Amino acid sequence: MEILSRYGTQQTFYFPLITSGGTDFQTTWTPATGETQYSIDGGTFANTTNNPSHEGNGIWSLTMTATELSGTRIAVSIIDAGADVEDQALIITTTLAGQIEANFGIIIGEVDTATFTATTTSLEGFRLSPNTTEEATADHYNGRLLLFTSGALLGQMTDITDYALANSKELFTYTALTEAPADTDRYVVL
């Protein structure tokens, strides 16, 4: 399984584990030190700082430290010394780290018309990513760009001329669009 990742930043990765000799997800394995190892850019394998944790329903997580992710390609092997889980490998690639890092600066939102009717020059929306906390500082996004990623305005971009927090939502004022965005239309702030 190959996973794109940020370079040199602690992260948690999720993956399934299958019961050894079966087809069902494994839910009861207790990993021992040494059963999960990593190699940076083809180097010698070493034990991971953390062991995998069961998240539920056969989905496991592994938190890797910033040091463990300081390479272009990190190979992780999960080799059960017993016979509880099928052996697994994760290949973590940081070659696109700059693009991934840039994506963390992009805000993804969704238009909400419950308390405010969107117009060709303003909308209220909920924050969906990279977190769900709306920005409280007025004018915080002034001068940035608003790009629609769904709905009738798909692909249209405009500049943000004013920003405020209103009705517990992000209120954007911008240069006029060809039409008003609809409820649940998605957008990104660049």
At residue 98, the pLDDT reads: 62
Residues 93 and 147 placed together within one structural domain of the fold:
no
158 with 67, same domain: the answer is: no
Together in a domain, 75 and 12: yes
CA 7, 8, 9, 12 dihedral sign is positive
Last residue of some domain: 52, 78, 101?
101
One-letter amino acid identity for 145?
Answer: L
Which of 35, 69, 101 is a domain's end point? 101
**Do both 138 and 85 map to the same domain?**
no
Q: What are phi and psi of 61, to 5 degrees?
A: -130, 155
Query: Domain boundary at 73, 101, 129, which?
Result: 101
Task: State the CATH number of the domain containing residue 136.
Answer: 2.40.10
Write out pLDDT tens, residues 41-60: 999 999 999 999 999 999 99
What does the pLDDT read at residue 5?
87
- This model's pTM is above 0.85: no
Looking at the DSSP bridge assignments, the partners of residue 80 are: none
Q: Which residues have a Cβ under 8 Å from the Cβ of 175 and sit 6 or more positions away?
A: 121, 158, 159, 161
Number of domains comprising the chain: 2
Pair 17, 96 in one domain? yes
Q: Where residue 97 falls among pLDDT bands split at 50, 70, 90? A: low
CATH number at residue 42: 2.60.40
Domain range holding 161? 105-189
User: Same domain for 28 and 81?
Assistant: yes
Going by C-alpha positions, the residue among 18, 22, 48 that lies closest to residue 35 is: 48
Cα 108 from Cα 148, distance rounded (Å): 10
Same domain, 18 and 82: yes
